[in-house]
Amino acid sequence: MSLIGHWLNIYCFKHSGALHRCWDRGLVLANNADYLVVATKKAKVVESNGRRWFTKEPAVTIFSKKEWWNTICMFKKEGICYYCNIASPSVIDGDSIKYIDYDLDAKLFPSGEIRLLDQREYLHHKEKYKYSEELDTILKYTLDKIVSLMKEKKFPFDDKTIEDYYDQFLKSLSNEQHGN
């Protein structure tokens, strides 16, 4: 069954298996052996502590199925802002996308500036959840690779590709509203 055009819930877990946060739904725009692309607009987010909020900007998210990352591409006034989570490869489970978040994050701003985030939180969880040497190596390697892709503006940090997915999302929403 093709998932394109279907709405999926998104669940983010911690290494312990505890639910970290969930998004109410994302529209599947692409699905292949390597990644799943979904888009959201004013998605409801529920945190593990019960706090609820809605996303401010529309976003296209690329969930890697083979590599240790997913990237949220947020459409802001100044341009696309990329927030890359270092995370387990994503899996599709029924009507849900699931992954484990490993705290290390990299953010690429429209200006080209790159910021590494949550490194203290990563060290804390590495000790708390007893990440193996192998896992630690994979996560750090992935972060280095992501930063290189950001610098080179290669997929998934390619504005043109992400804008094309967003246009596809808007057309899908319009068709949904008009019953097509």
Cβ neighbours for 79, distance < 8 A, ≥ 6 positions apart: 110, 159
Q: What is the maximum span of the chain, computed from C-alpha positions, in angstroms?
A: 53
Tell me the backbone φ, ψ of residue 96, rounded to 5 degrees.
Answer: -135, 150
**Are 64 and 155 a contacting pair, CB within 8 Å?**
no
Whether 21 is catalytic is yes
β-pairing, 96-108 with 7-13?
parallel
User: Are the C-beta atoms of residues 97 and 26 closer than 8 Å to each other?
Assistant: yes
* Count of CB atoms situated within 10 Å of the CB of 108: 23
Residue 89 token pair: 């490869």
Annotate 27-44 with b (16+ C-beta within 10 A) or e (fewer): bbbebeeebbbbbbbebe
How is residue 88 written in tokens?
A: 């387990």
Active site residue ranges: 21
